[in-house]
Structure 1
Amino acid sequence: EDEVGLVLEEEVESAKLFPASHKARDVRDGLLALARRHGVAARFGCRVISMAPHAGRWRIGVEDVDTLAADTLDADAVIVATGGLSVPNTGSDGAGLRMLEALGHTLHPTYAALTPVTAPENAFSALSGVSLRVSLTAASPARRATHTGGFLFTHAGYSGPSVLNVSHVVVRAGADAARGDEPAADVRVQWTAHDDAAWQTLLQPHGARQLSTVIRQELPDRLADVLMAQAAVEPTRKLAELTREERRRMIDVLVRGALPWHGDEGYKKAEVTGGGVALSEIHPVTMESRRHPGLYLCGEVLDAFGPIGGYNFLWAWATGRAAGMAAAN
């Protein structure tokens, strides 16, 4: 806090520290100032266009983004912290991945991870803006993921933590299906915390109560109406009038309802890039390349990602710190 020159405040609920100004740029500026005080020279307005071993060191080709004037830098160590392909408007264009592949590193196929899922026109299309907590499962012949959390109907399909955390199965299954390798993923929803047994109890005959009364007590009204229509059971049916088959259909929809989809929103909306350099090709303590001494890899260029909730930031910071300390030594 003192070194960086920031006044920090602790958030009571999470015990996390934030700058008192609540401005991210103050954190950036403080860290840059600290780095400069320790002799770091920062260059902006340029891009790295090449990277290669040279006479036991590293030679870096640099290009000015405005004039396109070229320059070279020589270094004892290089840290690649270029990110992946997600959120390209931040500058993540995959250049680091391409350079590492050219240097002989194994690059596992990349894909958009933690991204919203799109859907064709269907019975849920009119529910944009409706949100709730669900358990979502996406499964393909090769992969399976389940997550319980927030779910949001959007104008294009579905989003929210539960969707983002299983989307990698959908994205990769879609790519596999496009190549003719395997069928696309099947996505199923448990719309409430109630399982089969709980719903069996809730849907038992109880006076003159109607089906719609029970379902709408547990779910948003518009969604409840759609699900009853999917089960082909009239909302006005009294619980005492439900047949065994009607009750079975209703529970199937509520506990393992099919969620139609046809694609995803890709890298533009993805929280992180899946795939990248194989983890077996770096030293796990120092993050140094096993193929090239003096080359260190961290963050999103590596084939690792975690769920929503700060895990991917933690991965970037922890691997970046390890790479920085090892390179400095």
Structure 2
Amino acid sequence: MQYDAIIIGGGACGLMCAVQAGLLGKKTLILERNDKPGAKILISGGGRCNYTNLGTSLDNFVSENPSFLHTAFNLWSVSDTLDFFESQGIYGQEKTLGQLFPTTNKAKDVVGVFTKLMFETGQDIWLNSIVTSVEQSGAMYRVKVETPSGEKVLSSPKVVFASGGLPVQKLGASDFALRAAKQFGLKIVQTAPALVPLTITGKDADWYASLSGNSVFCRVYNKKISFEENILFTHWGLSGPAILQISSYWRPGEEFTMDLLPRFSLEQIIKSERDNGGRRLVSQVLHDYFTKRMVEALGQFLPINTKVASLSKADSKSIIDTIHRFSVKPAGDKGYDKAEVMRGGISTDELNARTLESKKIAGLYFGGEAVDVTGWLGGYNFQWAWASGYVIAQAI
């Protein structure tokens, strides 16, 4: 069988690329190492698949060159994503912060759209197939692949790398696209886990562990960015949406700050308590906003058993600073197996923004997570996967 392109990876980008190519009358083959396509789609959003975000903009992405996305998102917008899925019977329901889930709340329905369209457009997919090498041979590429029936060597004029990044190993995560890019002389932006929980060690570890299971709505920020969502204390550190978000902007050795009460002014609360006599204990005031366990934990370094009226200026400042400017210095992160995505990847300088083809090596295309484009939590990475798959499909 002669294929217009071989697509390595049957995730969001690869599936969209195959389907869109098929709709243009092209013939592709997906090589997928798992026993079913869309493995990461199926577990996303707790199995519900947050498949895009209505507020998608370039500001929602981490990259050495975020403006690179402008062309792809012009060619395939959020509206295009909505129209595409609605044409296949998948309608969205908005949750918080623009996140869109299918009304069925089933990620398998999203994958089902692609398997149906691949069948209808005559695209092929080989499962349990691991690509071991891609080599250039004149105007063609030789692709070696280990299949359940043994090694095969395929030939194609174009190869699409849509094999994702390093998270999550149990889903077949691989650095194959990065290794291939290096093999062909393409620059790689340093990679690291992103959208990942952060660990706390040392003298503060026990304090965080004592709050394990407690969730607090916070503003988490550093000099680069700010997020207002929940954090979750764990026995090894911090997780929750706000922590996952800030992790993409955090580097080892850096600190960030948490405002544990972002929608209130503790200074005004204390003043109001004083105006009313200040008879309540600080702990009683804090109980209006935090769980009992959180207040007890804060009591390790705040005068929570003091009446508000008796607080000194120094004590008041200490309480306000601790609640509104809680400094955190993580020891590290939980690694690729707990990360939602990978930061870094194939440099956008190496790719044509309109086609995602390598500028140096004709016929090689890179999309999705393998590229130095990392979205925030909340459907942004799927939007990039759909857009990059569509863009490549137009060009192959």
Same fold by TM-score greater than 0.5? yes
Match of 2:242 among 159, 162, 165: 162
CA deviation map 1:210-255 (0-9, x unaligned):
2112111122221122223323x1x231111111111111111011
CA contact (8 A) 1:122 1:260 kept: no
Q: CA separation in 1, counterparts of 2:138 and 2:228? A: 53
1:57 to 2:126 alignment: no
Mark the CA change 1:7 to 1:200 in structure 2 (over 3 Å): closer, same or farther: same
Q: Which runs of 5+ in 2 are unaligned?
A: 1-82
Q: CA separation in 1, counterparts of 2:330 and 2:206? A: 9
Q: CA separation in 2, counterparts of 1:219 and 1:250? A: 14
Mark the CA change 1:123 to 1:25 in structure 2 (over 3 Å): closer, same or farther: closer
CA deviation map 1:233-285 (0-9, x unaligned):
1x231111111111111111011112353221110110110010111111111
Mark the CA change 1:16 to 1:88 in structure 2 (over 3 Å): closer, same or farther: same
1:11 to 2:82 alignment: no
Tell me, what secondary structure is at the counterpart of 2:166? coil
1:131 to 2:215 alignment: yes
CA deviation map 1:56-100 (0-9, x unaligned):
122211112x46x32211112111100000111111111111111
TM-score by length of 1: 0.84
Letter of the 1:74 partner, please give it: S
Query: Structure 1 vs Structure 2: percent identity of aligned residues?
Result: 28
Match of 1:242 among 288, 297, 311: 311
Task: Give 1:202 deviation, angstroms.
Answer: 4.5
2:176 maps to what in 1?
A: 95
Task: Between the two structures, name the one with larger relative contact order (CA 8 Å, sep ≥ 6).
Answer: 2
Structure whose alpha-carbon radius of gyration is higher: 1
Q: Which runs of 5+ in 1 are unaligned?
A: 175-183
2:157 maps to what in 1?
A: 76
1:291 to 2:360 alignment: yes
Match of 2:229 among 144, 149, 154: 149
Letter of the 2:257 partner, please give it: R
1:42 maps to what in 2?
A: 125
1:118 maps to what in 2?
A: 199
1:225 to 2:296 alignment: yes
Task: Give 1:323 deviation, angstroms.
Answer: 0.9
Mark the CA change 1:325 to 1:191 in structure 2 (over 3 Å): closer, same or farther: same
Mark the CA change 1:192 to 1:15 in structure 2 (over 3 Å): closer, same or farther: closer
Mark the CA change 1:11 to 1:187 in structure 2 (over 3 Å): closer, same or farther: closer
Tell me, what secondary structure is at the counterpart of 1:82? coil
TM-score by length of 2: 0.71
CA deviation map 1:155-197 (0-9, x unaligned):
2211111100111344xx32xxxxxxxxx11132110023465
Counterparts of 1:134-213 in structure 2 under 5 Å?
A: 134-138=218-222, 144-170=224-250, 173-174=251-252, 184-193=253-262, 194-195=264-265, 197-199=267-269, 201-202=271-272, 204=274, 206-207=276-277, 208-213=279-284
